[in-house]
Amino acid sequence: MINRFKYDTKEHAFREVICNWLGEYDLSKLHYIKQYEHFDREHDQSTIWHKKFYEMIRSDISFDDIYVKFLEDVVKPRFGEEIIYQKIPTLRIHLPGNVSVGEFHKDKYYRDIEWAEKVKEINYYVPLTKAYGTNTIWAETEEDKGDFQPFDTDYGECFEWSATNLTHGNKDNITSNTRVSFDFRVIPKSRYIDSGHLTINTKIPFGIGGYYEVL
């Protein structure tokens, strides 16, 4: 399943908040500020911008207000029931000459596979800059098909898909632009099961009140 849809950037002004937090007007030019060695899986969340984003999201409600409204207005109606959503979305920064995720993978291989295949999380990819060619996500269209395609899109559009089962990742960014995006996971409440596990990087419980919240 891969769906693509538009949303109102005036109602859900994510980019304005992130630009303000990072102190940068043009997110696509972050590479002029600082470059990094080629990322691996252990370090792809280690930039100065990631640090600032995660600090601010815990102390400033401006992003969360927009995020929850987006979930209420745009995402939740697609399920027709209460949803369990990722409380703090994941920031991605794809600099020229680098990747934003350290390796191609299926999300279920970083989790309990039996749990992941039961709850069937749905992923949402929300670029804040133009995402195209080698600076965006590449994913197969069906599990193990291997026909990788880019998620070409722009600010104001969102991809809905299953990272649990579809192999995905990044190529080295040979464009002249940085891609900044965030992504998050949603589970219909009727499919939710507490996994009893911890997240890889932050060791937060994969449960409601930890990694997830209810809406």
- The percent of residues in the chain predicted with pLDDT above 90, rounded, is 79
- CB burial of 201-213 (b: ≥16 within 10 Å; e: otherwise) equals eeeeebbeeebbe
SS3 189: helix
**102 vs 176, higher pLDDT:** 176
Q: Quick one: pLDDT at residue 42? A: 84
pTM recorded for the entire structure: 0.94
Judged by average pLDDT, the poorest of 36-40, 61-65, 128-132, 201-205 is 201-205
C-beta separation of 49 from 174 below 8 A: no
Q: Residue 42 has which token pair?
A: 């252990």
Judge: domain 2-214, CATH 3.40.50.
Answer: no
Judged by average pLDDT, the poorest of 27-36, 86-95, 116-125, 194-203 is 194-203
Largest CA distance in the chain: 46
CA distance 30 to 34: 7
C-beta separation of 53 from 128 below 8 A: no
Q: Is the pLDDT of residue 201 over 70?
A: no
- DSSP lists the bridge partners of residue 166 as none
Q: Quick one: pLDDT at residue 200? A: 66
The residue extents of the domains of the chain are: 2-214
